[in-house]
Each structure stands twice: as structure tokens, then as C-alpha cells.
Amino acid sequence: MAENKYKAALAAAMSSINEKRTALAGENGMGHSIKTKIATNDGWVCDEADTWVTEFTAKCTPVTTDFDNAWDEVNLAHGEEPDDVDDDDWRATYQQYAGPYHPGMN
């Protein structure tokens, strides 16, 4: 028996999705940082600022939902995979294709 490398790649994808979602919408994420700098701490203080923050948040929400949906789909696939597979199974030698435009991925 061999490690299911496809399942490991799915786990890595789940981690990446979560990191990207947090970078956008987490407490210290880009979206939060932008809103904080613009509308608080002596930033832009007026009704227009409040409206801008509300509209910005509304634009981020679908992206956050997409991250959540992607994570759910990958998590479902991950849960259906066994930890170990036969040595001659394609998942025993699976290698993630990074493509030509994904520096840093292996």
C-alpha cells in the first residue's frame, strides 16, 4: 500500500483556499484592512464613507462565498478518498500540475 498523494493534494488545496479566503476576508485580511484604513482611525468619516464600506463589503461577500463553496467541494472530494491506495493505483504517484503561470507550486 502507498500514500494517496491525490488526497494529500486535495488537503493542500483546502489549506490554500482557506489561506486565500482569510487574506481577503479575515480579521487581518485585505478587505478588513482597506475598510479600517478608509473609514476608521481618523480616516474618511462621513455618510459617503459608510456607504462605501457597505458597498465594498457587499462586493466582497460573493467572493467569500465562492471560497467557501470551493472549500466545501474539495473537502467533500478529500473525504471520499482513502488514506492509502495500492502501489499501482494512479493516486500513489499523483503529481499536481502547476502549469506555466504558478510560480512556487510544485
Segment of 1-10, 60-69, 95-104 carrying the highest mean pLDDT: 1-10
Set of cell numbers at residue 66:
465562492
Residue 35 DSSP class: H
Q: What is the pTM of this model?
A: 0.72
Domain count, the chain: 1
Find how far residue 82's CA is from the centre of its chain: 23
Residue 106 falls within a domain, yes or no?
no
Residue 97 falls within a domain, yes or no?
no
pLDDT at 103: 54
What average pLDDT does this structure show over 66-78? 95
Q: Which H or E run includes 75?
A: helix 47-80
Residue 76 falls within a domain, yes or no?
yes
Cα separation, 91 vs 106, whole angstroms: 16
Cα separation, 76 vs 82, whole angstroms: 12
Residue 25 falls within a domain, yes or no?
yes
- pLDDT at residue 63 above 90? no
pLDDT single digits (tens) 30-56: 677 777 777 766 677 778 878 888 888
Write out the residue range of the structural domain in which residue 84 sits. Answer: 2-92
Percent share of the chain, pLDDT over 90? 44
